[in-house]
Structures are given as structure tokens and as C-alpha cells.
């Protein structure tokens, strides 16, 4: 499946280049042109990722891998995330691993004075992150990058309940062809519509949850889930029965939780 190698190669190079661009020590790093294909099932599943390709070593040797089970978070004086998401025309692609929406330029968040641009968002089934050992039905990952190439993921857990309207719009455009981005100029969406009203979060240091599992990714997991209907969960599960990496050891990395009042979070 040549397309898969080409696509993953491009993705990995972009991610790796972005992660190492800020670090002079890695300025000479050249990503392999065609990293190995990987899947969510053996023999090329999560337990094997670290052995599939030298550039995936962090999947096996990393100490701050994602996802994790969030428990025992420490309350801390934290700043609210300032969301500045704009409407964008829908650009959606089935990557073969998930459904991904590529976001137009000009949307960002600001945390602790640093601006991170929203690059794309995508979904996992079931959720990758667990809270007190419980996984949710779906998880949304909003992927951001700052000017230094550092990555930050805002994660929203989704559980069975009422229909989720913004998801209804997306699911109506789920692409079946893998690797081909479809653009709908007349369909406008705003990622803000996927967020819970309460913007309290858990935060910790982690990694990409797919190869090359690069670390140095800052995670912000919304404490409150949003609802999606069972039919919406089933519609995604039909394409992606399981695209969640197993939980990784916490290794005492320290998880902090915010506790601002709802009004100050908006």
C-alpha cells in the first residue's frame, strides 16, 4: 500500500521537523523518508511501534508517553486558556487512522502568554485519555503548534447522550476515500463549538499518541466531557473500531488541575 507509506512519511517529516526545528542540537536530524507502516493491531500494533522503525524509538523508550489515566491530579493556580478560534471552511480527510479536519490559518489559543495556532483536529474511538480509570466513548484532539514548533493538544472527552450538532455536520461529510482531503467551501465550522462550556482542565507533559510518539507535547484535557449520540459514536466506530493507543505509564510526571469558576474560564 504505497499511498500509506508516502502519506505517513510526509506526516512524520512535518511533525519531526516541527518538533526539532527549535532545538539546535537536532538541527542535523533528517527524518527517514519512508518510516514503517503501523496499525492499531498486532503484529504492527502499539506494542510493536517502538520496534518498527528507528524513528519510532520514543514509543518504547519514552518516559512521558501519552495517553495516560488521569488520577490524583494536584489543584494548582493555573491561567485559563484563551480560545480565539475562527470560522473555517471545512477541509476533511480520512487519514486511514482517523478523521481529521485541517484548520484554516488564524485560529489560536493563548496560554501563559504563549500563542499556539490550531492546525488540525481529529477523533479517537474509544477515548485515549482515561479519568480515574474510565475511558469515554470518543475523544477529540485539537492540535496546536507555536512559532517554535512546539505542540500542544487540547483534548475533549465525548460520552453518549444527546446528539452533538457540530459533529452532525462533520459526520455528514465523512470521507470514505483514504488520504484525499475534501474541501467544502460553503460548510463553515468553528472548533469552539466542540468545547464544553466549562473550560477547566487537567494539564501535564506528554507525547504524540501515534508514531513517532515524540515527547515534549503539552496536554490540556478538558475536565468536563461533551455529549454525542450513540448513533454518532456508532457511525465513527464503523470506520474506526479502535484507534486508541493503550494507556501509558504515568511515571510520576505530575498532573495539575485548574479550578476557576466557570465565568472566568470564558
Peptide bond preceding 212: is omega within 30 degrees of 0, i.e. cis? yes
Residues 29-88 close enough to bind Zn ion by CB under 5 A? none
Asked whether the beta carbons of 90 and 172 are under 8 A apart, the reply is no
Q: Which stretch binds Zn ion (CB under 5 A): 29-37, 51-59, 72-80, 135-143?
A: 135-143
Rounded-to-10 torsion of CA 220, 188, 137, 266: 40
Residues 144-183 close enough to bind Zn ion by CB under 5 A? none
Task: Based on the shown chain and the rule CB under 5 A, indicate whether residue 245 belongs to the binding site for Zn ion.
Answer: no
Q: Which stretch binds Zn ion (CB under 5 A): 3-11, 141-149, 170-178, 182-190?
A: 141-149
Q: Which is nearer to Zn ion, 15 or 188 (CB)?
A: 15
Q: Which is nearer to Zn ion, 53 or 128 (CB)?
A: 128
Rounded least distance, CB 121 to Zn ion, Å: 9
Rounded least distance, CB 233 to Zn ion, Å: 17
Q: Which is nearer to Zn ion, 91 or 141 (CB)?
A: 141
Rounded least distance, CB 219 to Zn ion, Å: 11
Residue from the set 141, 144, 145, 245 that interacts with Zn ion by CB under 5 A: 141
Site for Zn ion (CB under 5 A): how many residues? 1
Q: Which is nearer to Zn ion, 81 or 142 (CB)?
A: 142
Binding residues for Zn ion (CB under 5 A)? 141
Amino acid at each position: 500500500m504505497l499511498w500509506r507509506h508516502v502519506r505517513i512519511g510526509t506526516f512524520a517529516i512535518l511533525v519531526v521537523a516541527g518538533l526539532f526545528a527549535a532545538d539546535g542540537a537536532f538541527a542535523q536530524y533528517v527524518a527517514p523518508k519512508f518510516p514503517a507502516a503501523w496499525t492499531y493491531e498486532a503484529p504492527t500494533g502499539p506494542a510493536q511501534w517502538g520496534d518498527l522503525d528507528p524513528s519510532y524509538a520514543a514509543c518504547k523508550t519514552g518516559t512521558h508517553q501519552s495517553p495516560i489515566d488521569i488520577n490524583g491530579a494536584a489543584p494548582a493556580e493555573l491561567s485559563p486558556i484563551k480560545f480565539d478560534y475562527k470560522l473555517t471552511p471545512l477541509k476533511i480527510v480520512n487519514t486511514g487512522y482517523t478523521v481529521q479536519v485541517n484548520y484554516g490559518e488564524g485560529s489560536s489559543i493563548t496560554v501563559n502568554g504563549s500563542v499556539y495556532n490550531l492546525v488540525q483536529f481529529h477523533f479517537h474511538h474509544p477515548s485515549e485519555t482515561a479519568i480515574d480509570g474510565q475511558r469515554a466513548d470518543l475523544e477529540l484532539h485539537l492540535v496546536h503548534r507555536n512559532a517554535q514548533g512546539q505542540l500542544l493538544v487540547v483534548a475533549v472527552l465525548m460520552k453518549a447522550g444527546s446528539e452533538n450538532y457540530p459533529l452532525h455536520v462533520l459526520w455528514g461529510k465523512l470521507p470514505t476515500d483514504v488520504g484525499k482531503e475534501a474541501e467544502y467551501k460553503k460548510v463553515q465550522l468553528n472548533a469552539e463549538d466542540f468545547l464544553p462550556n466549562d473550560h477547566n482542565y487537567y494539564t501535564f507533559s506528554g507525547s504524540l499518541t501515534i508514531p513517532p510518539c515524540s515527547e515534549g507535547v503539552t496536554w490540556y484535557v478538558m475536565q468536563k466531557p461533551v455529549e454525542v449520540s450513540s448513533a454518532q459514536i456508532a457511525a465513527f466506530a464503523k470506520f474506526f473500531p479502535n484507534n486508541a493507543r493503550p494507556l501509558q505509564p504515568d511515571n510520576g510526571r505530575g498532573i495539575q488541575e485548574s479550578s476557576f469558576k466557570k465565568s472566568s474560564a470564558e
